[in-house]
Structure 1
């Protein structure tokens, strides 16, 4: 049976019990009890709170007896409890006795109003618990959580260092600086400790609670101390010692600190911050030195202690791992970027009747490429491609695809056939990667690439285009308008889809601009519109137009990198080309030789080249008369090369043969191959063309009919 309702013994009602209870609380309680009168003056405190506390605080106003971070807020809090009678529970307050030295402590305060039996207000009772160590532990835990959340999410050294100082300030430090070895920032291997005094460190990140102090640092007599600056650690300083024995150390700071004379830069920082405690932690990994972290605490914060060293060391290990990963990525990126640059053409080569320009924006992706390939018949192939991914292997795949497409372009295939054969080569590369051992990291990395390939013919003023998973080109007419372009999209390279590629023939007026770009620049309709607007300036040079496209890009909009290739179409000058329709009979070779000689003499070609060209034309025309079908056409094109073309309607291609000594014929194409720099066969809708190219010596004077 419950005794909750049992009557209270008379002895328990004696006022002596209340007095004994109060005496025991105020002499034995580990909780600091403070009794305040209605004027908020301290009238009694528990004796175990502090042996000398009573003499220092009794009789004084609460906010006068204690040094508080926010005295006005504390006074209003006490007055509100006194006025309303509503208690306040577990309110965190930072402060200390005014006469006591040292930093403020953390207290958990609960306040009640005291009334007598008649309801008159007697004052306040404040229960105070010192939770300084608990708050320090909580601060360390918050720092650790911020550090784990922010550091290691980027493969950029500067971003990693900035995440460290943002996690440390505020809370764990009032000012933080991270310095990294200059060579490490460039991707080099870090040196083993101890660090030589002549090795430069670069300031990678900086953060402080006080903006005024930061302005004071930055506004010094020189730039030393700013992010990006380098310095060598002065000897006999905590910084030099930390990278020597690779051990962290806590340093008390005051005006008489002797080593500050050897380090005026740090002395200026300490004066501006009024810092009183410094924690120096080396960034090390497997005995190698990557950098240094400097953490400062200023007035109002506790000095660093051994518990802070333990946390700072674990944080430094995490940061060092992240910096090392970023360093390795940076080194791989530099190598991949170098390979990418070496595999790309050094410039945008101009064709016979087309001018080109390009821009390659660097980024994480190392698979962007472009190309301008000179083809027979004054035609020009324009190529832009993109291999998804980053690193050396991506750059290698890019180089392999570019080499394949250059070889295919030399075969004078149609654009759709070029991409089909390129896709076959891509499938073989994918099969090779799939055959790697399962433990190889490349075995799990899929391949993906896109490409657009177009051939511009100045005689027909058309560009035949095919694309493999790539954005369609942009065409800008000479008047600045942007006609619609419809180019069927084929499957991406390395894709499982085996759909055929298709072509579209774009009719272009002379002076039109053709823009091929990677997907990062043509990701949506808005970006395409932005590029069209930037290119609608026919009065500008191609390079200015390329730069104009870059200027319109939003900041950091292409972190993976991008490429754009521009071509301005033209025509072969009439005085640089000669075309003849020839009869299909045995006298035609002789007639062709005469026509060619007369034209070359008019072009002031040297005699040796004239004789070689006569022989080449004679052999090509003879071959067409014997084995081809009418109609026959002979065309000469004069540019940096002298091109000879013989067209007929037969689809059968001749083959070079090595005639035996007793053979009367069979040496025609062999002779042609010896006299010409390049030669080959090109197929079209209405037959084929045998063509040759010869290098033309530069004229010895300026009296020639045209500039070549």
Structure 2
């Protein structure tokens, strides 16, 4: 059985209430034996005195005795786990502390204290060790009293907003982070205080004052703390940032929804509308799907609209949705083409991002569209000038090597701007829809030919 030892373990508090003492000389030979030692090892004093400590230990630990005694000589003590071999018993793991004694006029000796670990969960840790564990933990930890006011928090909690620990003392979560949706968190704390039942894995999604445009996700766990009389004294909670995991989960959910909702018919306009409805509001605040007129007729897509590469690009808005639109019942998107208005003409200015996407086949992203977009921003879907500059993604609709149109995604200024991960996700969504649009186009052409 191996030995476990940690640097600095000698600083841990050692409970001597049930410890078995014995005394060694400087060489590690037993010079004094006790009745407690006799009960633990099964050796009488006559049998044990004169034995080397190594003779009482398992083979793995016996060879370490010189090293431990040397460390004890240099630092004054050593604390760790040893495996001992009692008489007529199997190997037993014991907590051990070896301390050097200082006696005037006498040779130095070593006092050994041992506690059996069979029924113990592990080391009994001092307050300083426990404080070091929670204060230096990478996980945010805090304690609130029965009024939900902070009485303690660690440094890691500062990463979640609200400032350093000393600034939180005596305040509630809403005082520390005004504007943060703390109502569900505090409601959970009150429930834990009332019931005493732990809550593990509570997910909270919201925005913090430090990042008002960025939605973040955290998982919290709550435990009630009781005083010595068993009455509730407060709540101890931990918090971990799972924003990346939450966003990955949302992306997968969006792609799954796209797979189930886009391309359920061979109608070009309906397929374009399904793409817009899947992306709003979970991914964007507004989406427009603009297709070449030839594509809507079922014809082969032209390289550029008839207006030419240097002029404005004329497309048809086949799909459009904003977050302000009423949510259609699931599965109802206007099964008949007659239920939808004819796609309106949309003109994209020469040299605009949409025109470049058509000619190059590459997507375009702008975190915040500025005044320079005045010449082409009128073609954006549901642009809200009063809310500040929006964030825009434009992705070409391409299938089988041909460009069928462009899809524009917009987020208002109050939302987090589109990032590189969003661009990848948008390209995946549009790519799936493009295949469905092209299939519908081919069907339309063959139907008309028939």
Q: Any gaps of 5 or more consecutive residues in structure 2?
A: 1-89, 94-115, 328-340
CA contact (8 A) 1:169 1:208 kept: yes
Report if the CA contact (8 A) 2:198-2:221 is conserved.
yes
Q: How much has 1:25 moved relative to structure 2? A: 2.1
**Are 1:236 and 1:259, in contact at CA under 8 Å, matched by a contact in 2?**
no
Residue number in structure 1 paired with 2:345 = 230
CA contact (8 A) 2:346 2:379 kept: no
1:452 maps to: none
Q: Is 1:252 the counterpart of 2:370 in the alignment?
A: no
Residue 23 (1) aligns with residue 132 (2): yes
Structure 2 vs 1, CA of residues 275 and 73 (structure 1 numbering), >3 Å: closer, same or farther? farther
Q: What are the residue-to-residue correspondences of 1:502-521 with 2, within 5 Å?
A: none
Assess if the C-alpha contact under 8 Å between 2:213 and 2:415 holds in 1: no
CA contact (8 A) 1:67 1:95 kept: no
Map of 1:515-594 to 2, 5 A cutoff? none
CA contact (8 A) 1:115 1:123 kept: yes
**Which residue of 2 is the match for residue 147 of structure 1?**
258
Give the C-alpha shift of residue 32 in structure 1: 1.5
| 2:426 matches 1:312 | yes
1:32 matches 2:127? no
1:130 matched to 2:241: yes
Q: 1:319 to 1:71 in 2, by over 3 A?
A: same
Is it true that 1:302 corresponds to 2:416 in the alignment? yes
> What is the CA RMSD across the aligned residues, in angstroms?
3.3
How much does 1:323 deviate? 0.9
Partner of 2:150: 42
CA positional deviation for 1:160: 0.9
**Quick check: 1:180–1:291 contact (8 Å CA) kept in 2?**
yes
TM-score, with normalisation over the residues of structure 1?
0.41
1:174 match: 285
Instruction: Determine if the alignment matches structure 1 residue 333 to structure 2 residue 440.
Output: no
Displacement of 1:138 after TM fit?
Answer: 0.8
Task: State the distance in 2 between where 1:333 and 1:273 align.
Answer: 46
The structural deviation recorded for 1:155 is 0.8
The residue correspondences of 1:190-589 to structure 2 (distance < 5 A) are 190-192=301-303, 196=309, 197-211=311-325, 228-253=343-368, 256-266=370-380, 269-271=383-385, 276-298=390-412, 301-336=415-450
User: 8 Å contact 1:260–1:267 — kept in the other structure?
Assistant: no
How far residue 330 of structure 1 moved from its aligned partner, in angstroms, is 0.8
Query: Whole-Å Cα distance in 2 between the matches of residues 161 and 282 of structure 1?
Result: 13
CA drift at 1:246: 1.7
SS in 2 for 1:80: helix
Q: Conserved in 2, the CA contact under 8 Å of 1:193 and 1:245?
A: no
- Once residues 7 and 333 of structure 1 are traced to their aligned partners in structure 2, the CA distance between those partners, rounded to angstroms, is 81
Secondary structure, counterpart of 2:443 in structure 1: helix
Q: CA 1:210 to 1:58, structure 2 compared with 1: closer, same or farther past 3 Å? A: farther
Structure 1: stretches of 5+ with no match in the other structure? 214-225, 337-708
How far off is 1:143 after superposition?
1.2
| SS across alignment from 2:380 | helix
- 1:509 aligns with none
Give the corresponding residue for 2:106. Answer: none
Greater RCO (CA < 8 Å, at least 6 residues apart): 2
State how far apart, in whole Å, the 2-side matches of 1:150 and 1:46 are: 47
Residues 116-140 of structure 1, C-alpha deviations (whole Å, 9 max, x = no match): 2222322212211111111111111
How many residue pairs match? The answer is 320
Please give the alpha-carbon distance, in whole angstroms, between the structure 2 residues aligned to 1:296 and 1:58.
42
The structure-2 alpha-carbon separation of the partners of 1:96 and 1:30, relative to structure 1 and needing over 3 Å to count, comes to farther
Find the aligned partners of 2:164 and 2:156 in 1 and give their Cα distance.
Answer: 10
Question: Does residue 118 of structure 2 align to residue 6 of structure 1?
Answer: yes
> Does the CA-based 8 Å contact 2:255-2:429 persist in structure 1?
yes
TM-superposed CA distance for 1:69, in Å, is 6.6
- 1:68 CA displacement: 6.3
